[in-house]
Amino acid sequence: MSDASNFGNRSDYLQIEPEPWSSWWAEQYGTPTELFDDYSFWQRGKYTIWVAAADIQPGAVSPVDGIGIPLLRTGRDVWKPTSVAVIHFGRDVARNVVDLEADEASRFLGREAIEFENDARAVLPHRGYVIARYLGVPIGCGLWRRGGLASSVPKGRAMRDLELPRA
């Protein structure tokens, strides 16, 4: 578990145990539990968990502005995977994933919400973050609620009319 003293706006990154973060991911998305075996976990402040190479050594350097990639935001009642982590670690997910058509993917990447009423894909039972997929690859994470998908693509990365390959 994380170091209880590592709270607030501190800029240092502390190495933490993979649990409960790796188990949460495996449970949430049905991925193999050994998915994160060869990585190290880091925490900065209270709310963001980072994942990096297993043998990474920041050494005596401060301040640090990033280690590996951010994996999870844990500040709200529902933990949110980051879009960059979804693309990297969301390749072989078994559940809480929704496949999008080209026009839906295009809107999703432009941060538009997508309605799923009367749609066979609307099988998710509860509110939570799901992985959006296009052409079999994860493209980002979205908040599933009341039959719709709110895109969580970061504003800085979102693009309307992104040029997409088509099946």
Partner 1 sequence: MTVSDCTCPSRVSVTQYAAHMTEPAAGLDRYRELVADWPAFLEACQRPLPTVVWENPLRRDLVTRVGAECGLGEAATVADLLSCRGYSTTALDWRPGAWRVDGLAKPGRTFEHYLGLMHVQEEVSLAPPEVLAARPGERVLDLCAAPGGKTAGIAISMRNTGTVIANDLRPQRLRPLRANCERLGILNVVITPINGVRFPLEAGPFDRILLDVPCSCEGNVRDSHPDARGRATAGVAGRGGLQATLLGRAWKLLRPGGVMVYSTCTFAPEENEVVLDHALGDDAAIEPFEIPGLRHAPGVDHWAGKSLRDDCTNLARYWPHLNDTGGFTVARIRKTSDS
Who's near 45: CB < 8 A, 6+ residues apart?
Answer: 6, 7, 8, 9, 10
Would you say 119 and 75 are in contact if contact means Cβ atoms under 8 Å apart? no
Name the segment binding partner 1 (CB under 8 A); options: 1-9, 20-28, 29-37, 159-167.
159-167
Would you say 149 and 121 are in contact if contact means Cβ atoms under 8 Å apart? no
Residue 69 near partner 1 by CB under 8 A: yes
Sign of CA dihedral 122, 125, 128, 132: negative
Least Å from the CB of residue 114 to partner 1: 17
Of positions 58, 115, 123, 147, contacts partner 1 by CB under 8 A = 58
Alpha carbon of residue 61 to chain centroid: 28
Q: What is the DSSP letter of 55?
A: T
Least Å from the CB of residue 37 to partner 1: 14
Least Å from the CB of residue 161 to partner 1: 8
26-55 binders of partner 1 (CB under 8 A): 39, 51-55
Which residues here bind partner 1, judged by CB under 8 A?
Answer: 39, 51-70, 84, 87-88, 91, 109, 134-137, 139, 156-157, 159, 161-167
